[in-house]
Structure 1
Amino acid sequence: MTAKVALVTGATQGLGLALVEGLAARMSTEDTVYLTGRDAGRVAQAVEALPAGGARVRGEVLDVAGPHEAGRLAERLAERHGGVDIVFGNAVMRVGPEDDPREIVGAYAEVNNFGTTRLLRAFAPLLRDGGRFLVVASSFGTLNHLAPALHGRFDGLSSLDEVDKQVAVWRDAVADGSARGGDWPGFVNIPSKIGQVAAVRALAGERREADLARDILLAAVCPGMMNTPTSAMWWDVRDAPSPAQAAEVLLDLVFRPVDPAQYGGLVRDGEVLPWR
């Protein structure tokens, strides 16, 4: 049996680190989990701090904001292993209530949105039979959080290029201030998450038949509210699950049989959230 390979982006802390630890615990000693992040020192520190046992954890530097970094890492892993089995797209730029959206939206979209589509382009072709590709989004990623006049921008998109184009329109409107006088929500997380889910839906539309025949799951996932310092800047999360607790539900999707109803959707607690 071929040893399995997993990859987690944004994995030096929080949910990403919990996903790496959970994957390593559930996978065999013959398998490899790649813990990635943009800072080499933090990557090495995170790998060193993980408990022993289970799959081997290897660190790799990956800044998804870099135009070519995901593709280069995909090439290296293809040379080493021939393919990948599990990908969690979890890299995120965090934003606080005091941040000016006009100042941060460029970098924000580069990581959260264009970083997601770069990862999808680079690693979806490497998925082996039985593979899982899960993009961590949120329940904000549904059209009901967007003004009806904007639904058509993200609904029915058929390619990642089309998704990138619409994300760029939103980014530019926020950056030049015109979004304030239009229908775009002030909370940048909403259009960003909708863009992530739209990207999954677009790629799933191209791959669905072939992927399901190969027992592959491609989906967006919502871990729910978590007790993290970033969430605490916005909400009262004292009673919310820890990242490790939230990770368990996402890991279940990896190790359970594929439910075709979940393919291409936004899944929360095992249920597919309505797109419209």
Structure 2
Amino acid sequence: MTSRIALVTGATQGLGTALVAGLAQRMDATDTVYLTGRDAARVGAAVASLPASPGEVRGEVLDVADPESVTRLATELERRHGGVDIVVNNAVMRVGPDDDPRAIIDDYAQVNNFGTTRVLRAFAPLLRDGGRLIVVASSLGTLRFLAPALHDRFDGLSSLDAVDAATGDWCDQVRDGRARAGAWPGFVNIPSKIAQVAAVRALADQRRQSDADRGILVAAVCPGMMNTPTSALWWDVSDAPTPAQAAGPLLSLALDPIKPDHYGELIRDGAVLPWRPAA
């Protein structure tokens, strides 16, 4: 049996580290989980912090905001293993209540949005039969959280290039103040998450038949509210699940038998969240 290869981006803390730990615990001794992040020291510390597990955990530097970094690691994993079985794109730049969206939007989108499409472009071609490509998003990533006048900005996009163009236009409007004066939500996380889900949907539409034939899942997932320091800046999360607890449904999506209706959709706790508002 071919050894399984998994990769988690943004895995030096929180949910990312929990996903690596959970994957490694449910894998075999011949399998490998790559724990990645942009800082080598933090990657090494995160790997060292994990308990012993059946699957091997290996650290790799990966900065999703850097196109060369993404291409380099994808090329290297193809050379080492010939492909990958599970990719979870969890990398995120967090934003706080005191951050000025105009000042942070470029760095924010380079990680959260263009980083997502880079990972999709680089690793989707490496998926083996039965593989999973999962983007960690949010329940905010549906059109019901966007003004109807803006739905066509992200609805029905047919390619990752089209998603990038729509995202870039939104970023331009945030940067120059037009977004604040228009219908865009002030919380940049909303359009960002919608763009992430739109990217998953666009890639899935291109690959749907071939992935069905090969048993591959492409999906976005909402882990729900978690008790983390960043979430605590916005909400009372004292009773929210820990990252380790929130990782459970995501691990099921990555490892359990595929449900065909999950393909190309945003999933939360095993259920599909509708992309469009109810009529």
- TM-score under structure 2 length normalisation: 0.98
**1:89 aligned partner, one-letter code:** N
> What does 1:102-251 correspond to in 2, within 5 Å?
102-251=102-251
**1:243 aligned partner, one-letter code:** P
**2:203 aligned partner, one-letter code:** L
**Partner Cα distance (2:182, 2:217) in 1:** 37
**Partner Cα distance (1:183, 1:207) in 2:** 33
**2:177 aligned partner, one-letter code:** G
Secondary structure of the structure 2 residue equivalent to 1:93: coil
**Partner Cα distance (1:156, 1:69) in 2:** 30
* 1:8 corresponding residue in structure 2: 8
Q: CA deviation at 1:267?
A: 0.2
Q: Which runs of no fewer than 5 residues in structure 1 stay unpaired?
A: none
**2:100 aligned partner, one-letter code:** D
* 1:54 corresponding residue in structure 2: 54
**2:238 aligned partner, one-letter code:** R
Q: CA deviation at 1:53?
A: 2.1
RMSD: 0.5
**Partner Cα distance (1:178, 1:145) in 2:** 19
**1:173 aligned partner, one-letter code:** Q
Is 1:265 aligned with 2:274? no
**Partner Cα distance (2:249, 2:22) in 1:** 11
**Partner Cα distance (1:84, 1:255) in 2:** 13
Secondary structure of the structure 1 residue equivalent to 2:106: helix
**Partner Cα distance (2:28, 2:129) in 1:** 18
Q: CA deviation at 1:20?
A: 0.2
**Partner Cα distance (1:202, 1:120) in 2:** 11
Q: CA deviation at 1:68?
A: 2.0
Secondary structure of the structure 1 residue equivalent to 2:180: helix
- Percent identity reads 71
Q: CA deviation at 1:148?
A: 0.4
Q: Which runs of no fewer than 5 residues in structure 2 stay unpaired?
A: none
Q: CA deviation at 1:70?
A: 1.0
**Partner Cα distance (1:175, 1:44) in 2:** 36
Query: How many residues are treated as equivalent by the alignment?
Result: 276
* 1:30 corresponding residue in structure 2: 30
Q: CA deviation at 1:256?
A: 1.5
Secondary structure of the structure 2 residue equivalent to 1:141: coil
Q: CA deviation at 1:197?
A: 0.1
Q: CA deviation at 1:54?
A: 1.2
Q: CA deviation at 1:52?
A: 1.1
**Partner Cα distance (1:100, 1:113) in 2:** 18
- TM-score under structure 1 length normalisation: 0.99
Q: CA deviation at 1:67?
A: 1.9
Secondary structure of the structure 1 residue equivalent to 2:12: coil
